[in-house]
Structure 1
Amino acid sequence: MNLKVLVLTIAAFTVGLVELIIGGVLPQIAADLGVSVSAAGQLITAYALVYAVSGPTLLAFTAKIERRKLYLMSLVVFILGSLLAFWSPNFGVLLLSRFVTAASGSLITTLSLTIAVKVVPENYRARVIGIVSMGISSAIVLGVPLGVLAADKLGWRILFLFIAIFAMLTMFVVYKLMAPIEPQQVMPLRQQLASLKNTRVAGAHLVTLLMLAGHYTLYAYFTPFLVNVMNMSASWISIVYFFFGLSAVAGGMIGGMMSDSLGAKKSILLVVGVFALSLFILPFTASMIPLFAVLVFIWGALSWALSPAQQSYLIDAAPETSEIQQSFNFSALQIGIAAGSAIGGVVISHTPSVTFNAWIGGGIVVLAFVVALYTLFHKSSSRRTDGHGQKSGSKLEPNFGGD
């Protein structure tokens, strides 16, 4: 593998780790800082919200800055935010660190992708995008379960020190190996927002938002579920997260195959529908480990299986702004994570058991299914928009992924 691509992948892994690892150590953070588990869960909410807003906003504001310089600046801020989390004497400081790492992390992830395609030949560009994206999914497979074990032995703070060290090494290698990269012209934020006037595109983003909201209503509090409902130790919790991560990575491949064979429309409906069903059933399998493992695999796989179909859908629905829509869809994903984490915190505080999180989450995903049905089959009179938010002449008919 190209060494530069490897470094960028490690950076993506590190950023993914900062966001995802919190869910695995919520009880430790809550106990150490003297807050409730639901309050600690808002660390996920805060990160996701800041990430969603800062991604497109900071890219627009930093459009004229040389990319290598911007990457190094973002890494410096990210390192400071991680060290702040390591040192944080109270919940307020830890929350502040989440704001800092989310804003800088949003730039690091985007720049990792854009720089990666510039350091390889054109015929390898699609491949390196997949490799860098795997850095984030690898944080689920390896980072979260290892983090749970490390936090159990050394405390949760050490995780953020390790993350800061990884980021420092990345910064050093980028400084040594990367040549300056001039920025390309970026569409102004106002014109980017205008592209959302296409109601079919907006509907797709809403489906992503609602599905992730339902997912994180339980996933953000999955550790309390495993501890309180299933009485699992840290070692078993780590194994469950590792298994979930493997299924999530497999889900991306499964989703791509489904989209290619069934078409985007059928894939979206199938993934969202079965995902809702898995959340409703999961609590009933807590005393049946083999069946629980099957449900966790389905849940994990489908949590990532929607993305390929959505990408195909967005390219078909708005080809003129497809790259921007990918960015907006990731922002919708982050808003969904924030909403789900917040809702899950309210549910866990006002219900007798964390099992209600799964059922409330399933209800939210059912709403995503309804929105998907409307988006895919409603004969809208809205028209395609070009990159400047202007309407084109032809109406957009429901044609997704070859369906």
Structure 2
Amino acid sequence: MSNRFAIYLLALGAFVIGTAEFVVSGVLEIISQDLKVSISVAGQLVTLYALSYAFGALVLVMLTARFDRKKVLLYSMLVFVAGNIIAFFSINFSMLMLSRIVLAMSGGLFFFVATHYDAQLAHPAKRGSAIATVITGFTVSLVLGVPIGTLTAAYMDWRYIYLIIAVVTLINVMLLNKFIPKLAGSKPISLKHQLLLIKDKKVISGLLTTVFWILGYTMIFAYIAPLLSNIAGFSIEEISTALLILGVFAFIGSRVGGYAVDKWGPVRTISISLIVHSTALFVLTVTAASPIGVLLTIMVWGIAAWATTPANQFYLMSLKPQSSEVVLSYNTALMNIGMTLGAGLGGVFIKYISVQNLGWIGGSMVLLALVIASFSFKLTPKRRIT
């Protein structure tokens, strides 16, 4: 019972990390106005976070591999609390940027360690379910954390979102300290071995699929608030509702993706989800001006986009089952690099085109992900991935 509760606490940690990461997209316009920067500049908060998260998930994980995992877990959460405090006291854009670096690096380290920690806590037959629980905590941040944070900003200063996250995280740290057992560190995998893994064309193309689908997704998600505000005419409360809908259907999508992999295999699941995802983004350019149309498109978008995640993770693990942890750490890092590129390029594009037209570019990036995935599938024997 204690271990099960500990796994839920790890999921709560993933939830607050996801909320801190994604809530910016819901309050981007408010931050832009308050700190007197353009929307495209404010969007770089997403870019910087994703890049720093990738560093935390990859480099910091290797540097701390030998240390007691409980200490690494708790210290990463305490640094995360500090990042939220910096955000709360941000009086200018530079200070907020600093907070994003601290939040992302500590959050990336925590999430990766927590994902493997809970596998050790669970019964061997339940390890997959335990890992899914922590990942679900991260996904639920889209369902609850982001819309609640956005709604909070409608009634009080947006900085209080980070103060609330800090308090919840601090409580979680105290509970984790009490309920999770110690776990010894392990010998880090050599850089040479890691580089050999990513020389494999199947692995590289599988990882690039992640980069381009999340790039297309983030290009729209990072600027969803100004799109809904300027094109659909949504108020802050209506934007919060739209983000809640997106989060709910993203959660459904992750579950649909897992079910589809078991039923049809990763190849068909990845292919179908990417086709529907790109189509939804193309359609968004037309439906963005219609409140009902945009909400229906968001529903389809959320399901299709997040159905890809478990399918591609399963596919990557099937390519290198003996080194799945390393491959998945690269996948996490590259997912955040894709988010970095998506937010950065989106910020550049909206200087010259309407935010409504980002759908064409984002949809094209997802189609490119489909082409790359198809290339990877052709290189992989069918018996390995079905």
| Secondary structure of the structure 2 residue equivalent to 1:118 | helix
* TM-score, scaled to structure 1: 0.91
Which residue is 2:155 aligned to? 153
Aligned mate of 1:118, from 101, 117, 120 = 120
Provide the C-alpha distance between the structure 2 equivalents of 1:167 and 1:260, rounded to a whole number of angstroms.
Answer: 35
2:123 partner letter: P
Provide the C-alpha distance between the structure 1 equivalents of 2:202 and 2:123, rounded to a whole number of angstroms.
Answer: 35
Change (3 A) 1:376 1:26: same
Aligned mate of 1:166, from 165, 168, 177 = 168
Which residue is 1:355 aligned to? 356
Provide the C-alpha distance between the structure 2 equivalents of 1:398 and 1:196, rounded to a whole number of angstroms.
Answer: 20
**In the alignment, structure 1 residue 397 sits paired with structure 2 residue 381:** yes
2:203 partner letter: V
Q: Is the 8 A contact 1:312 1:400 kept in 2?
A: no
Q: Is the 8 A contact 2:274 2:305 kept in 1?
A: no
Which residue is 1:51 aligned to? 53
Which residue is 1:313 aligned to? 315
Q: CA deviation at 1:167?
A: 1.3
2:86 partner letter: L
Residues 3-402 of structure 1 aligned to structure 2 (within 5 Å) = 3-351=5-353, 353-377=354-378, 379=379, 397=381, 399=383, 401-402=385-386
| Secondary structure of the structure 2 residue equivalent to 1:197 | coil
Q: CA deviation at 1:130?
A: 1.4
Provide the C-alpha distance between the structure 2 equivalents of 1:47 and 1:289, rounded to a whole number of angstroms.
Answer: 30
Q: Is the 8 A contact 1:42 1:342 kept in 2?
A: yes
Q: CA deviation at 1:180?
A: 2.2
Q: CA deviation at 1:399?
A: 4.7
Provide the C-alpha distance between the structure 2 equivalents of 1:70 and 1:149, rounded to a whole number of angstroms.
Answer: 33
1:368 partner letter: A
Change (3 A) 1:54 1:189: farther
Q: Spell out, residue by residue over 1:80-111, the C-alpha distance to the aligned partner (whole angstroms, 9 max, x if none).
A: 11100110111111111111111111111122
Q: Spell out, residue by residue over 1:179-215, the C-alpha distance to the aligned partner (whole angstroms, 9 max, x if none).
A: 3221123312342232101111100110110011011
Change (3 A) 1:260 1:6: closer
Q: CA deviation at 1:68?
A: 1.1
Q: Spell out, residue by residue over 1:223-270, the C-alpha distance to the aligned partner (whole angstroms, 9 max, x if none).
A: 000000011111111111111111001101211222233322222221
4+ residue segments displaced more than 3 Å: 287-291, 396-400
| Secondary structure of the structure 2 residue equivalent to 1:65 | coil
- How many pairs does the alignment contain? 384
Q: Is the 8 A contact 1:63 1:183 kept in 2?
A: yes
Q: Spell out, residue by residue over 1:311-334, the C-alpha distance to the aligned partner (whole angstroms, 9 max, x if none).
A: 232133222322211121111211
Provide the C-alpha distance between the structure 2 equivalents of 1:260 and 1:122, rounded to a whole number of angstroms.
Answer: 19
* TM-score, scaled to structure 2: 0.95
1:293 partner letter: L
| Secondary structure of the structure 2 residue equivalent to 1:17 | helix
Q: Identical aligned pairs, as a percentage?
A: 34
1:401 partner letter: I
Q: CA deviation at 1:287?
A: 4.0
Change (3 A) 1:99 1:287: closer
2:374 partner letter: L
Which residue is 1:393 aligned to? none
Q: Is the 8 A contact 1:60 1:189 kept in 2?
A: no
| Secondary structure of the structure 2 residue equivalent to 1:180 | coil
Provide the C-alpha distance between the structure 1 equivalents of 2:126 and 2:382, rounded to a whole number of angstroms.
Answer: 33
Provide the C-alpha distance between the structure 2 equivalents of 1:125 and 1:315, rounded to a whole number of angstroms.
Answer: 15
Greater shift in the superposed pair: 185-194 or 269-278: 185-194
Q: CA deviation at 1:398?
A: 5.2
Q: Is the 8 A contact 1:220 1:341 kept in 2?
A: yes
Provide the C-alpha distance between the structure 2 equivalents of 1:302 and 1:164, rounded to a whole number of angstroms.
Answer: 32
Change (3 A) 1:268 1:399: farther
Greater shift in the superposed pair: 189-198 or 287-296: 287-296
Greater shift in the superposed pair: 180-189 or 218-227: 180-189
Q: Is the 8 A contact 1:347 1:356 kept in 2?
A: no
Q: CA deviation at 1:361?
A: 0.8
